[in-house]
Structure 1
Amino acid sequence: MYDLLTTTRCDPYLQRLAWNNHDGHPSSYLLLQFHYDRLYDAAVQHDWPEARSSISYTALYEACQTAVASYDGDPADAFKIRITLSRAGLLTASASSVAPLKFDPTSPSFSKPLTDSATLYGPAMTLFVDTEPTPSSGLFTSTKTTERTVYDAARARVGLPPLPSTDADVILYNPNEHVTETSVSNVAFYRSHRWVTPPLSSGCLPGVARRWLLRHKRIFEAEPEEFPKTSLRPGDWVLLFNSVHGCRLGRITAS
């Protein structure tokens, strides 16, 4: 059995950002309203009526608050919050420490890698290109769940350790050899002076950060066949984004 899954960040820095709020109030949780939408929509797609009726923004917020209050690890200021929703409607959340933010986590989306220094936002992540396609598996690639077999297999094929290691990642592509995402992030490529992301029809997840970046025109959706695997080159810059780390820059390795 599997659960629906979403993951966010709790960080005091987020309260400084006017765009990260709920009902006009600053929030320390990254895009929490979008996470509620994700869980609700996934419950509908999986045809889980008990999960759909049990989830609410208030319940999600309270679960996150409980997770942070219950954290018993080393002292920390910022947290990754892993949230699951079961078929029966059980909502659970757990907190683990992460490095606190030093800047707006969406700022790397303003980068122009043909001219800007990549070190402005820290070292680029190392990105490998998968050696085999990842098949589209319907609900398990169009919604985020705890069933991660295909993503774990892609990491293993290029020699990456299991999560939570985040020093490197693997770029996935579908059986038609169109690029989709990485094992933990959506992606965009710098084309014609803007960041362009694969369309949902490629098989990528409709990520929370992806939704925000598209809404604010930081990234633009590509045509269905715009990113074949053969278009990727060693040294290419890639914008990676998820709802824990925000945006990061990566670079495709030659090996």
Structure 2
Amino acid sequence: MANDFQIFTSIRYDPSLLKVPELGFNNVGWNQNPSPFYMLDFHRDRMLRAAVYWDWNAAIATLSGEKGIENLQSFLKTNAAGLGSGPHRVMITLASDGTLGYQTSPLPETHINNLHPESLPSPNSDDLDSVGKGKVVVQDPLYDILLDSQKTAKSEFTHYKTTFRDIYNSARKRAQINPGEKKEVLLVNEDGQVMEGSISTPYFWRDGKWVTPPIPSEYDASQGSGGNDGTTRRWALERNLAIEQVVLVDSLLDGENCWISNGLRGFISGKVKLR
């Protein structure tokens, strides 16, 4: 299998991120200093963890330490030089021999508050109507959050992000999600727990706080709900926007508010649609 897939991550290139320091955002990590790459260090870390898991020594050498993140930043700067002033998706691939690859495509604009939120408002909070006020996240667009009709087994390929995407593509096909639609589908493990979204981390309001399914730091089939340890998920947990908690499918309510996040669009508001 080692020759049949690559590790990958999708990072947002967005020149508007260069304004983050002057706009008064605090505790934003990588983007505290001017950079057009969204949470670049978190993307490096997630790829490196996967390379360590599979013992890809050449790939580990490419990304390890300060030199590794400098290598990645230099690679991105070189290949983003012609992208212009609009946001783009940069898909970075890492092969077992340490070779980096990339693909690019345009992205929609995203409000900067949704890239570096200070909090996620509780459901029905008046904050959701305060578009552009302070660092409050913006509710538009609103995604429909659907539930996969089949269960998915935990594996290395649900824990680590790789080019083996059949699991996720099949879930989106079953949910009849077309490219560009404001919809997401939740994968469900064999124990009836929400794993993750097909392209995002989900957050649900439980007992007065936002929670997201638990994931161990290294793949272990006996621990966690089986999803991917995403970059914005790490952001949310480290900054206390959410905590880890098992989310049973049976606990979901039609129409309940939720949030989803990923390394391309930041944090996006949604509503669960069970019928």
| 1:85 is aligned to 2:94 | yes
In structure 1, distance between residues paired with 2:210 and 2:35: 27
The 1:158–1:230 alpha-carbon spacing in structure 2 relative to 1, beyond 3 Å, is same
Counterparts in 2 of 1:127 and 1:52: CA distance versus 1, 3 Å: same
Which of 6, 10, 23 is matched with 1:7 structurally? 10
Describe the SS at the equivalent of 1:121: coil
Match of 1:218 in 2: 241
Aligned residue in 2 for 1:179:
194
Percent of pairs with identical residues: 30
Please report how far the alpha carbon of residue 248 of structure 1 lies from its aligned counterpart in structure 2 after TM superposition. 0.5
Q: Deviations over 1:189-208 (max 9, x none)?
A: 01122211110110010111
Letter of the structure 2 residue corresponding to residue 208 of structure 1: T
Alignment partners' CA distance in 1, 2:35 and 2:28: 6
Equivalent residue for 2:163, pick from 141, 146, 166: 146
Unaligned stretches of 5+ in structure 2? 130-137, 216-223
How far did 1:117 drift? 6.8
- For 1:65-144, list aligned pairs within 5 A: 65-71=77-83, 76-104=85-113, 105-107=115-117, 109-116=119-126, 120-137=138-155, 139-144=156-161
CA distance in 1, matches of 2:256, 2:31: 39
Using structure 1 for the length normalisation, give the TM-score.
0.89
1:159 aligns with 2:179: no
Tell me the CA shift for residue 23 of structure 1.
Answer: 9.4
Moved more, 234-243 or 12-21: 12-21
Indicate conservation of the 8 Å contact 2:7/2:163, yes or no: yes
C-alpha distance after superposition, 1:4-40 (max 9, x if no partner): 0111111123231444454962222111011111111
Q: Does 1:248 align with 2:268?
A: yes
- Given the alignment, which residue of 56, 59, 65 partners 1:51? 59
- 199 and 23 in structure 1: CA distance in 2 versus 1, 3 angstrom threshold: closer
* CA displacement, residues 167-221 of structure 1 (integer Å, 9 cap, x when unaligned): 1010111011111111000111011222111101100101111111100001111
The 8 Å contact of residues 18 and 26 in structure 1, kept in 2 or not, is answered as no
Partner Cα distance (1:126, 1:219) in 2? 21
Query: How far off its partner does 1:81 sit?
Result: 1.3
Q: Is the 1:189–1:196 contact (alpha carbons within 8 Å) kept by the matching residues of 2?
A: yes
Q: Which runs of 4+ in 1 moved over 4 A?
A: 117-120
The answer to whether the 8 A contact 1:180-1:198 is kept is yes
State which drifts further: 107-116 or 179-188: 107-116
